[in-house]
Amino acid sequence: MSRLFILFLLSLAGTGCSPLPWRGADMEPPGFSLTARQTTIRPGSLLTLPEAIRIARAGNPQTVAARYLEQQAKAVRMQALSPALPQVKLSGRAARYRDPQRVASPSATNPTATSVSSEDLGTWDAVVTLNLFAGGRDVWNFRMAQDLVGAARLDAQQLERTVTTLVIAAYYQAVWRRAVAGALHASARALEAETVRVRTLLAHDKASLLDVTRVQVRAAEVMDQARAEDAQAELALLQLFHLLGLSAVPVKLEPPAEDPVGSVPSDDQLAWKEILARRPDLKAARLRISSQRAKVTTVEAELWPTLALAGSFGQRVDISGWPVEDGHWRNSGYLGLEMAWSPFEGGRIHYLVQQETAALRVMIENLRALELSAVLEIRTTLARLRSARDRLETARESLTLARTSLELEKKKVELGQSTFTDFQLIESSFLDAQVRVLQLMAEVRIAWYQFRLATGEL
């Protein structure tokens, strides 16, 4: 019965019952800890830009999924390595054999045996196979999988940088909207104070009711703009938390104090060869082309014969005599070379090579198109950055002039040398200049990070 127990254990081989405790659909193997860290942000706390970038890289669903894709590619690489290693297969069978045509003969242990013959029969075998030659198939399969691992890693890096750029853009958008809303609210409060002052002048017959109405209308317009900017700021904050992979809560935002924008290069200063060689998406495309070349070679290797060293050892019950005596087992096995070759397979491999070669050509042309798109993206972001920077300088000059005009107009109003209509026009121009400067400051910073992303420097 001990042999039957061993055969029963051997019969479990290949049924999916694995002693490895981490195998399962909802479990992870040791060291496979890619689950994003759970991050919570307390309402009212300060969320800095570096902290937002860190949270997005750790918790954005797309970045986490990209890391899992890299892990998946590594698993495929190990699968490509497995055919080059020795393969061991265990098999066994246990059964009770009954022959109603035979009657058990008397023996020393059972001198009066008259029952139907029934015996426990079984076999077990251990087969070891080692591939010696396969036309380089295993080597090129591993090379192909290795390139795909590198491509998946670069894709994850590119996606992480893209998410970082989107987080920066959303952060500056939210900061800009809040700053504009703050400026509008301050202007609305100033207009309310101006309304009180004009009412006082009206009481002393130094102003008309029309002046009071104009100030009130202007205050209502500014307050309406402020509320619209508050709504836009909330939308920008929602977009930011969406990129972080968290639920939105009210937080304080504070951009970096230093100006992150560096020197903007000219077209002649751009090292196109280095830029195109540095971008992760282009590097990933080149690795996929290398992997496809290895795949073409792998398919061509199927024309070669395969040679393997194979051996087996096992035991089985010898039923040449009947009844089977207990312990009547015989050893069995073999050791030798196995060769397989298909001299003709209907042209399948030939057309498969053509298919994979055509796929390789498609990938090469797609790489050329991607390089052209990268050049266009770099030139576009550079032009946008230069335009935003020049417009920011002009807007700052306009803001300085508007501030000076507003101060002079205030003095003229106090001296009674100007009308309230002229003052409101100049005050409106000053407010528009303020909003324009805040908008262009955010636009310049966003364009700067987009340019760095396009050149592969981020």
Is 426 a residue whose pLDDT tops 80? yes
User: What integer pLDDT is reported at residue 366 of this predicted model?
Assistant: 95
What rounded mean pLDDT belongs to the chain? 80
Look up residue 313 and give its amino acid. Answer: F
Residue 27 pLDDT level (bands cut at 50, 70, 90): very low
Does 156 lie in the same domain as 96? no
Tokens of 118: 């029934």
DSSP state of 34: -
User: What integer pLDDT is reported at residue 29 of this predicted model?
Assistant: 37
Does 154 lie in the same domain as 21? no
Does 215 lie in the same domain as 181? yes
User: What integer pLDDT is reported at residue 120 of this predicted model?
Assistant: 62
The percentage of residues in the chain with a pLDDT greater than 90, rounded to a whole number, is: 24
Does 193 lie in the same domain as 155? yes
> For residue 58, what is the domain's CATH number?
1.20.1600.10
Is 18 a residue whose pLDDT tops 60? no
User: What integer pLDDT is reported at residue 293 of this predicted model?
Assistant: 94
Out of 6-10, 42-46, 307-311, which region has the weakest mean confidence (pLDDT)? 6-10
Tens of pLDDT, residue by residue over 92-110, are 887 666 655 555 555 555 5
Tens of pLDDT, residue by residue over 39-76, are 678 888 888 888 898 999 888 888 888 889 889 999 98
Does 318 lie in the same domain as 292? no
Does 269 lie in the same domain as 255? yes
Residue 99 CB-density burial (10 A; 0-12 exposed, 13-18 middle, 19+ buried): middle
What integer is the mean pLDDT of 328-343?
84
Is 359 a residue whose pLDDT tops 70? yes
Does 387 lie in the same domain as 274? yes
| Of the residues 314, 340, 366, the one at which a domain ends | 340
Does 354 lie in the same domain as 267? yes
Residue 136 pLDDT level (bands cut at 50, 70, 90): confident
Does 120 lie in the same domain as 157? no
Give the integer Cα–Cα distance in Å for 369 and 69. Answer: 25
The pTM of the full predicted model, rounded to 2 decimals, is 0.73
| Of the residues 340, 364, 392, the one at which a domain ends | 340
Look up residue 301 and give its amino acid. Answer: A
User: What integer pLDDT is reported at residue 320 of this predicted model?
Assistant: 62
User: What integer pLDDT is reported at residue 4 of this predicted model?
Assistant: 36
Does 200 lie in the same domain as 105? no
Tokens of 432: 């528009």
Range of the domain at 269: 34-85+134-305+341-454
What integer is the mean pLDDT of 336-365?
90
Does 183 lie in the same domain as 311? no
User: Domain count of the chain?
Assistant: 2
User: What integer pLDDT is reported at residue 317 of this predicted model?
Assistant: 72
What integer is the mean pLDDT of 343-369?
91
Does 359 lie in the same domain as 376? yes
Q: Which residues contact 188 (CB under 8 A, 6 or more apart)?
A: 219, 222, 223, 226
